[in-house]
Amino acid sequence: MVRTSERIAAVTVTPVAFRDYPLLNTVGVHEPYALRTIVEITTESGVSGLGETYGGTVHLERLRRAADALTGMDVWSLNDLIARTSRALGGDTGGGDGMSGMVTGSSTVDRVMSPFDVACLDIQGKLVGRPVSDLLGGAVRDSVPYSAYLFYKWAGHPGQEDDDWGPALDPAGLVEQARRMIGTYGFTSIKLKGGVFPPDEEIAAIRALREAFPELPLRLDPNAAWSTETSLRVARELDGVLQYLEDPTEGIGGMAAVARSTSTPLATNMCVVSFDDLAPAVSEGAVGIVLSDHHFWGGLRRCGQLAAICETFGLGLSMHSNSHLGVSLAAMTHLAAATPRLTYACDTHWPWKRPDEDVVDPAPLRFSEGRLAVPTAPGLGVELDRDALARLHRQYLDCGLRDRDDTGYMRRFEPSFPTETPRW
Ligand SMILES: O=C([O-])[C@@H](O)[C@@H](O)[C@H](O)[C@@H](O)C(=O)[O-]
Ligand SMILES: [Mg+2]
């Protein structure tokens, strides 16, 4: 048996921007462009692979430092990727999470190595002629369910024409948004991004969604905007209505206090965001479901390790999302397909992206009945469109945004927009 290595010859790191909608959350509102970074690794034998991650300045600078350290690395060695990334970062940690302050505390090394891990897997798959899901243990489902991700939103960005989704600022607007999203994609579960309006308004919105979609599981995620008391009141009022309540309040201690007094399952992508958080979360009984995300858990294989830990401790597993393009969607889909424990529909911001803006040919990424078929071509199964990459990079250069700042953008229109937590 011949053991061959496949060494990295070049890594390119390209920031891109795509148009975004004025989606509201507890820290503010999405700006007119979402920022991402596309990494492309090419090996000495000319095989290339793709990864996608956040696009903020601190993260981008770290990606570039890590990229420089990867030349000569064997694409089969995850251990070397971890070692090289840590050495390149040289203890530079904290900040630069690219999530407008909503997900802090994830591991910097894990965040930075993630897109390179995905790109190496893409290459490995191409080398052996198998899809990435096979490299992760094999697909246990041939399609992955995603949920309808509803947002309160303005009619359009201030100073611009109304966008094609129009406003959603009350229960009726959200039900209309859900009808359109479900009509287009066929989603069979619904998540509402909350923490925007006083809790009673969001309870009313969930009730309206329950009435309009009696069969569909519902989730509410206020991104820790509530106190323990408010969280418990909402949980009581929506008892039996929610599939899970996501990050009602802040921190492992706060979530544990809520968990002790409600039978509503609690999920998180805010208080358990790194391997260091797992032991305290388990010992305090803070959460029932961890929302994994390969972008900050260190890539696809590290998410497999997370799944094993969740299984050991009886925790459920689902998947978190931020604004993203097709490389991430393909990676999320392979990971979800190869994770037996991931039994909830995954989050995706996919509907909040114009279909004509991506860096890959979108053909393999078509939803049917709320599910995405797991790509079967070697690697991730998506091909880079170099003209589109150049266009979205040009858009990044021209748009002037360099860091996601939902609060700063909101304050341009509502100068007294609050930042104290909990808001309610
Ligand atoms: O895109 C948003 O506004 C979301 O609030 C996102 O930033 C969160 O990270 C995320 O979707 C969540 O589930 O918390
Ligand atoms: Mg969340």
- Please provide the DSSP assignment of 308-369 as one string: HHHHHTT-EEEE---S--HHHHHHHHHHHHT-TTB-SPBP--GGGS-TT--SB--TT--EET
The confidence score (pLDDT) of residue 91 equals 87
What pLDDT, in 10s, does the model give residues 167-218? 999 999 999 999 999 999 999 999 999 999 999 999 999 999 999 999 999 9
- pTM for this structure? 0.97
Which residues, in sequence order, are bridge partners of residue 371? 145, 368
Q: Which of 322, 348, 352 to mutate to test the pocket of ligand 1 (most atoms within 8 A of CB)?
A: 322
Q: Is 245 helix (H, G, I), strand (E, B) or coil?
A: strand
Residue 184 within any structural domain of the chain? yes
Of the listed ranges 103-117, 169-183, 362-376, 393-407, the least confidently predicted one is: 103-117
Do 20 and 163 lie in one domain? The reply is no
Do 193 and 178 lie in one domain? The reply is yes
Query: Rounded mean pLDDT of 331-358?
Result: 97
The confidence score (pLDDT) of residue 22 equals 98
Q: How many independent structural domains does the chain possess?
A: 2
Is beta strand 266-268 parallel, antiparallel or unpaired with respect to 289-292? parallel
Do 312 and 174 lie in one domain? The reply is yes
Identify the CA nearest to 367 among candidates 331, 341, 329. Answer: 329
Ligand with smallest separation from the Cα of 26: 1
Catalytic annotation, pick one of 157, 320, 324, 349: 320
Query: Rounded mean pLDDT of 121-142?
Result: 98
C-alpha of residue 267 to centroid of ligand 1, in Å? 13
Do 81 and 107 lie in one domain? The reply is yes
Ligand 1, closest atom to CA 23? 3
Contacts for 413-421: CB closer than 8 Å, 24+ residues apart: 413/158, 417/28, 419/27, 421/224, 421/225, 421/250
Does the pLDDT of residue 47 top 90, yes or no?
yes
* Annotated catalytic residue 193: yes
User: Alpha carbon of 187 to those of 78, 90, 178: distances in Å?
Assistant: 35, 44, 9
ipTM at complex level: 0.95
Ligand with smallest separation from the Cα of 25: 1
How far apart, in whole angstroms, are the C-alpha atoms of residue 337 and residue 372? 10
User: For the chain, what percent of residues have pLDDT higher than 90?
Assistant: 94
Ligand 1, closest atom to CA 151? 3
The confidence score (pLDDT) of residue 273 equals 97
Do 154 and 70 lie in one domain? The reply is no
Q: What is the b/e burial string over 99-136, where b = at least 16 CB atoms within 10 angstroms of the residue's CB?
A: bbebbeebbbbbbbbbbbbbbbbbbbbbbeebbbbbbb
* Cβ of residue 174 lying under 6 Å from some atom of ligand 1: no
Residue 85 within any structural domain of the chain? yes
Q: Whose CA is nearest to atom 6 of ligand 1?
A: 322
Q: Is 200 helix (H, G, I), strand (E, B) or coil?
A: helix
The confidence score (pLDDT) of residue 317 equals 97
* Annotated catalytic residue 353: no
* Cβ of residue 348 lying under 6 Å from some atom of ligand 1: no
Do 204 and 90 lie in one domain? The reply is no
Query: Could you list the residue range(s) of the whole structural domain that residue 36 is in?
Result: 8-129+387-399
Neighbouring C-beta atoms of residue 385, cutoff 10 Å? 16
Catalytic annotation, pick one of 30, 59, 193, 349: 193
C-alpha of residue 405 to centroid of ligand 2, in Å? 17
* Cβ of residue 106 lying under 6 Å from some atom of ligand 1: no
Here the CATH number for the domain that contains residue 154 is 3.20.20.120
Do 165 and 283 lie in one domain? The reply is yes
Do 28 and 99 lie in one domain? The reply is yes
* Cβ of residue 23 lying under 6 Å from some atom of ligand 1: yes
Do 45 and 157 lie in one domain? The reply is no
Residue 416 within any structural domain of the chain? no
Do 90 and 143 lie in one domain? The reply is no
Residue 12 within any structural domain of the chain? yes
The confidence score (pLDDT) of residue 302 equals 97
Query: Rounded mean pLDDT of 30-46?
Result: 98
Does the pLDDT of residue 104 top 80, yes or no?
no
Residue 413 within any structural domain of the chain? no
What mean pLDDT, rounded, does the chain reach?
96
Query: Rounded mean pLDDT of 270-296?
Result: 98
C-alpha of residue 423 to centroid of ligand 2, in Å? 16
Q: Indicate the pLDDT class of residue 3, thresholds 50, 70 and 90.
A: low
Q: Is 115 helix (H, G, I), strand (E, B) or coil?
A: helix
Do 69 and 112 lie in one domain? The reply is yes
Q: Indicate the pLDDT class of residue 105, thresholds 50, 70 and 90.
A: confident
Q: Which of 100, 193, 353 to mutate to test the pocket of ligand 1 (most atoms within 8 A of CB)?
A: 193
Residue 179 within any structural domain of the chain? yes
Neighbouring C-beta atoms of residue 386, cutoff 10 Å? 10
Q: Are 243 and 145 in contact, with CB atoms under 8 Å apart?
A: no
Query: Rounded mean pLDDT of 246-259?
Result: 98
How far apart, in whole angstroms, are the C-alpha atoms of residue 381 and residue 131? 7
What is the number of alpha carbons within 13 Å of residue 117 lying toward its C-beta? 31
Query: Rounded mean pLDDT of 302-330?
Result: 98
* Cβ of residue 320 lying under 6 Å from some atom of ligand 1: yes
Residue 411 within any structural domain of the chain? no
What pLDDT, in 10s, does the model give residues 369-392? 999 999 999 999 999 999 999 999
Q: Which helix (H) or strand (E) holds 33?
A: strand 33-43
Query: Rounded mean pLDDT of 38-49?
Result: 98
Query: Rounded mean pLDDT of 112-138?
Result: 98
Residue 140 within any structural domain of the chain? yes
* Cβ of residue 264 lying under 6 Å from some atom of ligand 1: no
* Cβ of residue 99 lying under 6 Å from some atom of ligand 1: yes
Here the CATH number for the domain that contains residue 21 is 3.30.390.10
